[in-house]
Chain A
Amino acid sequence: MLDNTGKKIAVSAGTICLVLLPAVATLFGHDYFISLFTRILIYALAAVSLDLLLGFGGLVSLGHAAFFGVGGYVVGMLFYHASEAQPLLGVIPGSENALIVLPSAVLVSALFAVVIGSLSLRTKGMHFIMITLAFAQMIFYFFVGLEKYGGDDGLSLYARNKMALLDLSDDIQFYYFCLFFLIIFVFFAYRLVQSRFGLVIRGISLNERRVRALGIGSYHYKLVCFVIAGAGAGLAGALLVNQTEYVSPGMMHWTISGELMVMVLIGGLGTLFGPIVGSAIFILLEDVLGMYTEHWMVYMGPLLILIVLFAPQGLFGLLSGKRGRDD
């Protein structure tokens, strides 16, 4: 178990590694690592946003991939309408400008989160888990049904978004672009968790009944938390579609929600840096094990069960000695 200083050292070391990674990879000629780690950064962003719900808000949402996918589709659809030079629904012009596209992705996924959250949060516990899953599935089918944007097959983009000063089609610049957003989001989340809002949210996750007995109506706090998390996932989805230049309903398949949860768990529930570690481990495992066997999931499944049964704090959680929930 590390004390606070140890934690700070671990976090700084991790940050330095991430900053230096492209240089080192280029030096040794492993350019592949840059795109692999870009993917890790993007999934880490989605996982951190999910951890705001799972770890800090105590809200077990099994539909987080829906917002991830919605963010991605905003990029895809705006790109499509820009290249066809034909406005969406006759009014909204397409765009390839990252400074327009990314904020739109965040906004639209936040709007989806408002609708889904305001309905789902009327319930608790098992109902909430099933309902978030079901709504995510509904959005999944909605996009499968959109023939215009490729339906089941999805939509290919011909290029990444553009912006002044940066060339996002360059993998190294795109890597730093993603790292920038991850750092910004984690810093925002760090302030959030310590803020008045964060204190209320943490209280709700520990003992909602007690929070209400103190005179705080919990519903709107949970909704805002849900929306912030959804917006974060939307941003991550928009970045992923930029990286792969491809979007499909597969992005919001429910197993993606499950995998994001697994990343949070492996790294450490209720920590901000845990999910980053978790997404790195998950994606590297997928990559490495995937080289030896196509059936790596058959090992991942039992491993996951063992982690749940024996190390529920996760890796970073073990290091920082975080305690479990109260109830």
Chain B
Amino acid sequence: MTENLLQVHGLCKSFGAVRANSNFSLSVRSGSVHALIGPNGAGKTTALNQLSGEIVPDSGSILFNGRTITRMKSYNRVKLGIARSFQITSVFESLSVEENMALSIIAKYRNNFKFWQNCLSAPPVLEGLTRALETVGLHERKKIQAGHLSHGEKKQLEVGMTLAGKPKLLMLDEPMAGMGPGGTVEMSKLIRRLKEKTTILLVEHDMEVVFSLADTITVLVSGETLTSGPPEAIRADERVRAAYLGDD
């Protein structure tokens, strides 16, 4: 059995009287695609925000690569190798495509207090920029303002930026949201390719995508982990069906 890259135990988080997560647990194996699903309002985004460090949990623990990171700042988690993309595409709209990518490349370096040399001709950017843009197929579009890209291209750029840090764990928050059928196929291909390089935690509504891509699925209901298992087991699980039907 492969070791667990991410081990989450009993996370709880409340906002005032609203309980967003209670007893959320998760184990993600190295090299797997792990999907996190659940009906609307199940607390998936809050869970993801706690893993990326934007929200500090009230209780529980997060172990990454054998290290406790429960209260670590988000940007330090990135340095350990946890990267995320957002539900709403968040490329920097008024920067050019290459500037977006350059920013994600220099993010790896602790010292970016370089005030004189143009950011695009900085050595680390020169080395990695072209390859990074080619990976997501945006090399020809590099001079364009990111705000002028199509929705699918923005998503590709965003995933490319997330990858630039060479993360050990890639968390994708609804990568298919707002994409047409063509975009969904492209993105599925991209995720399959990424699977060779890194471990993926996927939050997604599109069940077809989830069941075709995921090695393991964890179901979240009312902020709590209901069950985890391989797709076939989840498909057959009565409680999961009840949770989804009850929600509709």
Taking Cβ atoms with an 8 Å cutoff, the residues of A that contact B are 188, 191-192, 194-200, 202-203, 206-207, 209-218, 221, 224, 323-326
14 contacts between A and B (CB under 8 A): A192-B115, A197-B113, A199-B119, A209-B90, A210-B90, A210-B92, A213-B54, A214-B78, A214-B104, A215-B75, A215-B76, A215-B108, A221-B112, A323-B145
User: Is A215 within 8 A of B117, CB to CB?
Assistant: no
Picked from A197, A206, A215, A326, the residue with its CB within 8 Å of the CB of B107 is A215
Tell which of B3-11, B29-37, B93-101 binds the partner.
B93-101
In the bound complex, do residue A206 and residue B94 qualify as a contact, i.e. CB atoms below 8 Å apart?
yes
Q: Which of B35-88 contact A (CB under 8 A)?
A: 52, 54, 73-76, 78-79, 83-84, 86
Q: How far is the CB of B65 from chain A (nearest CB, A)?
A: 16
Assess A206 versus B93: contact at CB under 8 Å? Given A194-B119, A216-B107: yes
Partner of A326, one of B74, B93, B114: B93
- CB-based closest 8 A-B pairs: A215-B78, A214-B107, A199-B119, A326-B93, A217-B75, A196-B114, A215-B107, A196-B112
B122 at the interface (CB under 8 A from A): yes
How far, in Å, is B170 (CB) from chain A's closest CB?
Answer: 12
Chain B residue numbers with a CB within 8 Å of A217 are 73, 75-76
Instruction: Determine whether the beta carbon of B165 is less than 8 Å from that of A325.
Output: no
Judged by a CB distance under 8 angstroms, whether B202 is at the interface is no
B45 to chain A, nearest CB (A): 13
Q: Closest residue to A201 on the B side, CB-wise?
A: B112
Instruction: Give Cα distance in the complex from A200 to B125, angstroms.
Output: 13
Whether B93 and A196, one on each chain, are in contact in the complex, defined by CB atoms closer than 8 angstroms, is no
Contact of A196 among B78, B106, B161 (CB under 8 A): B106
Docked-complex contact B165 and A323, CB < 8 angstroms: no
* A195 x B75 contact (CB < 8 A): no
Would you give the shortest CB distance from A100 to chain B, in whole angstroms?
Answer: 25
Interface residues of B (CB under 8 A from A): 52, 54, 73-76, 78-79, 83-84, 86, 90, 92-95, 99, 102-104, 106-108, 112-119, 122, 145, 147, 161, 165
- Residue among B54, B74, B113, B115 facing the most chain A CB atoms (10 A cut-off): B115
| Chain A residues with CB below 8 A from B52, complex form | 213
Contact A191 B78 (CB under 8 A): no
Beyond A192-B115, A197-B112, whether A203 also contacts B75 by CB under 8 A is no
- Choice from A195, A212, A216, A323 contacting B115 with Cβ under 8 Å: A195
Pick the residue among B75, B93, B94, B119 that contacts A212 (CB under 8 A): B75
Tell me whether chain A's interface is mostly helix, strand or loop, or mixed.
Answer: helix
- Asked if residues B112 and A202 are in contact (CB atoms below 8 Å), the reply is no
Q: Which of B74, B94, B114 contacts A195 (CB 8 A)?
A: B114
Query: Contact: A214 with B103, CB < 8 Å?
Result: yes
A326 touches B165 (CB 8 A): no
Q: How far is the CA of A210 from the CA of B85 in the complex (A)?
A: 9
Distance in angstroms from A39 CB to nearest chain B CB is 29
Given contacts A203-B95, A323-B145, 14 further A-B contacts (CB under 8 A): A191-B116, A194-B119, A196-B122, A202-B95, A209-B90, A210-B90, A212-B54, A213-B75, A214-B165, A215-B76, A215-B78, A215-B79, A221-B112, A326-B94
Q: Distance (Å) between the CB of B126 and the closest chain A CB?
A: 12
Which residues of A have CB within 8 Å of B94? Answer: 206, 323-326
In the complex the two chains form, what is the Cα distance from A196 to B113 in whole Å?
Answer: 7
Q: Determine whether the beta carbon of B73 is less than 8 Å from that of A207.
A: no
Chain A residues within an 8 Å CB radius of B116? 191-192, 195
Q: How far is the CA of A217 from the CA of B79 in the complex (A)?
A: 10
